[in-house]
Amino acid sequence: MARQLHLNLFLMPRGHHESAWRHPAAVDRKLTDLELYAGAARIAEEAKFDAVFLADALVAQNNGGLVASGALEPIALLSALAALTQRIGLIGTASTTYSLPYTLARQFATLDHLSKGRAGWNIVTSWAPQAGSNYGREADVGHGERYAIAEDFVQAVEKLWRSFPAEAVLDDRAGGRYFDPALVQPIHHNGRHWQTRGPLNVPGSPQGRPVFIQAGQSEDGRAFAARWAEAIFTAHLAKETARAFYADIKGRAAALGRSAEDIVILPGLSAAIGSTQAEADRVWEELDALTSPEIGLARLAARFGGHDFSAVPLDRPLTRDDFPDPSAVDASKSRATSYVDVALREGLTLRQLLQRLAGARGHFTIAGTPEKIADVIQDWFTDGAADGFNIMPPVLYSQFELFAQEVVPILQKRGLFRADYTGTTLREHFGLAPVAASGVLPMTA
């Protein structure tokens, strides 16, 4: 069978542009309304998307009340969506820095059961400043230490998912034995950062374990992804950097004894779609007209660890001296580096950079007809830059409906994307190898 694209819906309330909540075409529902998310998930499932993906934040937004905030917690929301969908995967974000391995293992095993094998865990280390103080920490955790914590955390969770294998459940009513205790064993994980005895009190789930998703792009993040990730969500402003990232990750995975098919790489794509180029361009223009520089400055400052950009003129080309050294940033190191690179490469002013980031925060943005969007997707897919895309509609539902109804059929006609689901689990949608019921990974067995 020919290689097939993978498409996820990166679901943000009312859309990905920071001013989407104000746009007249945005869905008119509260951010706390389940139907807002269910409606988007139904559109994605009808278009045969691989999954719905939910990000998360552990701090309240500091934007002066100018950007919609207060979205719902992902695992609880996905549990509700599991009952309202049939086939589409359900990927939720959860932190290894500010969670507990036992609790998280229970939550995602439960989601995998409720969805009959459609769960995925987006493993994040939580870069946001002030997150630590929300969880009783005196200070935020440094970049390198966060990944050391994550390694220990994932090892503990993976062991917990193996501690109560599905085959231990006998449910023998006549014989009076519900499970075989010989198969349910403590794990006695005693890592540097996390300790948990186990066993888990939820039996092995339909996929063996949920799919591991990851999004780090720093050196530490890439090493972690090459070892653990089965799908990677990545941010690139140009195809060239996406190709380099793709080759690097696949090469690192091969060095660890994994095959290229073990990891699905999915850059973010935010597309404004119109019947003509001018109509598509107007979508971005309308959205940009509804935002303000102070929102972008606050967001940019957060990516650079709180650096103050307010003294930088808005309308002269940026220089390297306008940025702190991105390699010294202890927040979102890889994203900060990409912002500097694109600003200097394209000669952007601060205002232009803020407008670029308002749309998708460092992911690839484009405007055009459905044919143009399909051409770009095919080009990246066939030229070694992507296995598919995390679709980030600038406005919900309108722009996502256009993608689902106009772009997806073109990709299907070209033989690049499925016309119907061929499997029932997220692992099958991604074309990943099965995991044994015990959840054992070849690299950690």
Q: Across-strand partners of 196? A: 189
CB atoms within 10 A of CB 67: 20
Annotated binding site: 56, 93, 143, 147, 218
CB atoms within 10 A of CB 236: 24
Q: Across-strand partners of 271? A: 366
Annotated binding site for FMN: 56, 93, 143, 147, 218
List all residues 6 or more positions away from 345 whose beta carbon is below 8 Å from its beta carbon: none
CA distance 159 to 290: 48
CB atoms within 10 A of CB 124: 24
